[in-house]
Structure 1
Amino acid sequence: MRFVRYNGNQLGLLTDDGIVDLTDRLGLTSADPLIEYMSGEHNAEKFVDSDPDHSIDKVTLESPVRRPGKVIAAPLNYEAHIEEAIADKDITTDEWFSIKDKGYFLKAPSSVIGPSENIVIPFEDRRIDHEVELGFVMGEETKDADNETAWENIFGYTVLLDISVRGDQDRSNRKSYDTFTVVGPAIVTPDEIDDPQNLDLSLAVNDKARQEANTNDMVYTCADVVQYASIGATLQTGDIITTGTPEGVGPLVDGDSIEAEIESVGSLNVNVEERDVSFEDVNVQKHGQTN
């Protein structure tokens, strides 16, 4: 099944013919209907063959999870991107490190948007890069998971863009600006995917290919990331986990158009706009200072 959230707060099934509304059929009432669905005794399978209520081109697609409790991200998880990052100090100022060495990092839940919104570049004088990633949503509360439990507790997979300001600030800072986590268009349940560790993924900017890889190039699998993350923190229903990006990351500028696609998962298109703000002109004062 393919779950979408649309028109503000409606949950639906995406089919070949359109969108089947689930909110009314299942009596969903919360502000985050996908989390409500996963947390209750709901079953959408019986509606898979229902006549669609909407055409997909007539709705506004939102992030499938409105506001996850956590967005957990794996750093430098593709071999070729590791080499790329070591060679380009604009990408990372550290030597190579793995999840095992330094762990995951967190992105602000407020950075999450859906494919109908624009990415907003916050500073005109900083390099801001695109990163396409396979993301997934946790379906059950998970703590100290073994590898098998980790796979079983993944509710579904999605396309995710991790947008990044380059520089020497902490990752959670420069990757947490508003609009910097694009998720969608759907959450695809595991039965729709033969092997999440063997999926082609790609990203193009203005129709020019930049990133092309396969998820079998990951250093740590989806289950590895869940297993590691659940040691330190309880993973909750609706938490989003993202698995790192392959080589080919590059800068974005005002007016760019991005198309990202993951085999069997879906594709999304988003545009880029820029605020007229300079990072160097931002004046953050220390305690006790006055103008």
Structure 2
Amino acid sequence: MKFARFNGEKLGFVNDDTVVDLTDEFDLTTNDPLREFINGDYDLDDIEATGDTYPLSDVRLESPVRRPGKIVAAPLNYEEHVEEMGVEMDIAERGYFLKAASSLIGPSDTIELPYIDERFDYEIELAFILDDEVKDIPAEEVWDNVFGYTILLDISLRGDQDRSNRKSFDTFTVVGPYVVTPDEVGDPQALDMELRLNGEVRQSVNTEKMIYSCADIVQYASIGATIEAGDIVTTGTPKGVGELQAEDRIDAQIENIGSLEIPVVERDVRFADLDV
């Protein structure tokens, strides 16, 4: 099943070219209805799909989760990306990092670069959302706690600042268009993933190339932090990371999950002119 948050506060599931509204069926009252649905511990078999139906082309698709408790991110999780970054370490040495939930936007939004005199890069990643709280969980048990998978674009300021700082600007985490349940995704470690910039393929990989699997990342992160239902975990980017500029357009797709297109703009601000 493909879940989508749309038109601000509605939760639906996508059926071909339409979205069926589930908001009233499950009495979802918050502006983060997918998290409310997950925390309500509803059974997918309970869905009767009696709500209004809208053409997908007529709705505004939002980030499926509006405000997760945290976004847990894995750096350096593909060998060829480790090589292109010129480092000799991966998650085991570097550790995971967190992105601010306020950086989240959806596929109907726009990436906004905050400065005109700094470099910003794109990264495509497979991400997923947990349906239960986990702590110190063995990797083999993680799969039973995944609610669904989605596409995540991790936008980054290049520089020497702390990673969580450089990656947490507003609009720097694009998520969507849907969260797809595991039964429809199949093996998450065997998905083709591709990013095009202005029509040109820049990143292309199969997720089998990950150094650490989705489950490994959760196991590692849950040693130090409780991962809560509705949190987003993202799994690292492949080689091909490159620079973003105003008027660029990103087209990202992951097999069995979907695709999204999003434009890029910039603010007329020079970092060098700021009094910091």
Give the structure 1 partner of residue 157 of structure 2.
165
Equivalent pairs counted in the alignment come to 276
Deviates more, 1:231-240 or 1:37-46: 37-46
Matched, 1:83 2:83: yes
Instruction: Look up the equivalent residue of 1:187 and give its one-letter code.
Output: V
Give the structure 2 partner of residue 180 of structure 1.
172
d(CA) in 1 for partners of 2:273, 2:27: 50
Give the structure 2 partner of residue 96 of structure 1.
88
Matched, 1:56 2:39: no
Deviates more, 1:37-46 or 1:1-10: 37-46
Give the structure 2 partner of residue 220 of structure 1.
212
Give the structure 1 partner of residue 133 of structure 2.
141
Deviates more, 1:17-26 or 1:212-221: 17-26
d(CA) in 2 for partners of 1:156, 1:24: 22
Of the three residues 147, 151, 155, the one matched with 1:155 is 147
Instruction: Look up the equivalent residue of 2:19 and give its one-letter code.
Output: I
**TM-score, length basis structure 1:** 0.92
C-alpha distance 81-14 of structure 1, shift in aligned 2 (>3 A): same
Give the structure 1 partner of residue 67 of structure 2.
67
d(CA) in 2 for partners of 1:180, 1:283: 23
d(CA) in 2 for partners of 1:48, 1:148: 32
Of the three residues 123, 126, 139, the one matched with 2:118 is 126
Give the structure 1 partner of residue 34 of structure 2.
34
Report the secondary structure of 1:14's partner residue.
strand
Q: CA RMSD in A?
A: 1.3
Give the structure 1 partner of residue 190 of structure 2.
198
Q: How far does residue 96 in structure 1 lie from its aligned partner after superposition? A: 2.7
The answer (yes or no) to whether the contact 2:82–2:90 under 8 Å persists in 1 is: no
Report the secondary structure of 1:277's partner residue.
coil
Give the structure 2 partner of residue 22 of structure 1.
22
Q: Deviations over 1:158-204 (max 9, x none)?
A: 00000001011110000000000000000001011220000000000
d(CA) in 2 for partners of 1:84, 1:48: 49
Report the secondary structure of 2:259's partner residue.
strand
The answer (yes or no) to whether the contact 1:225–1:243 under 8 Å persists in 2 is: yes
Q: How far does residue 226 in structure 1 lie from its aligned partner after superposition? A: 0.3
d(CA) in 1 for partners of 2:48, 2:211: 36
The answer (yes or no) to whether the contact 1:120–1:179 under 8 Å persists in 2 is: yes
Of the three residues 217, 228, 237, the one matched with 2:229 is 237
Q: How far does residue 17 in structure 1 lie from its aligned partner after superposition? A: 3.8
C-alpha distance 239-270 of structure 1, shift in aligned 2 (>3 A): same
d(CA) in 2 for partners of 1:176, 1:224: 24
Report the structure number with the largest CA radius of gyration: 1
C-alpha distance 41-76 of structure 1, shift in aligned 2 (>3 A): closer
C-alpha distance 150-253 of structure 1, shift in aligned 2 (>3 A): same
Q: Deviations over 1:227-277 (max 9, x none)?
A: 000000000011101000000111111111110000001101100000001
d(CA) in 2 for partners of 1:126, 1:162: 17
Matched, 1:12 2:4: no
Report the secondary structure of 1:203's partner residue.
strand
Q: How far does residue 15 in structure 1 lie from its aligned partner after superposition? A: 1.1
Any unmatched runs of 5+ in structure 1? 87-94, 285-291
The answer (yes or no) to whether the contact 1:20–1:47 under 8 Å persists in 2 is: no
Q: How far does residue 46 in structure 1 lie from its aligned partner after superposition? A: 4.9
**TM-score, length basis structure 2:** 0.97
d(CA) in 1 for partners of 2:138, 2:192: 27
d(CA) in 1 for partners of 2:205, 2:161: 28
C-alpha distance 41-83 of structure 1, shift in aligned 2 (>3 A): closer
Give the structure 1 partner of residue 239 of structure 2.
247
d(CA) in 1 for partners of 2:184, 2:46: 16
d(CA) in 2 for partners of 1:278, 1:202: 32
Q: Deviations over 1:98-147 (max 9, x none)?
A: 11112101111100110000000011111100000000111100000001
The answer (yes or no) to whether the contact 2:176–2:260 under 8 Å persists in 1 is: yes
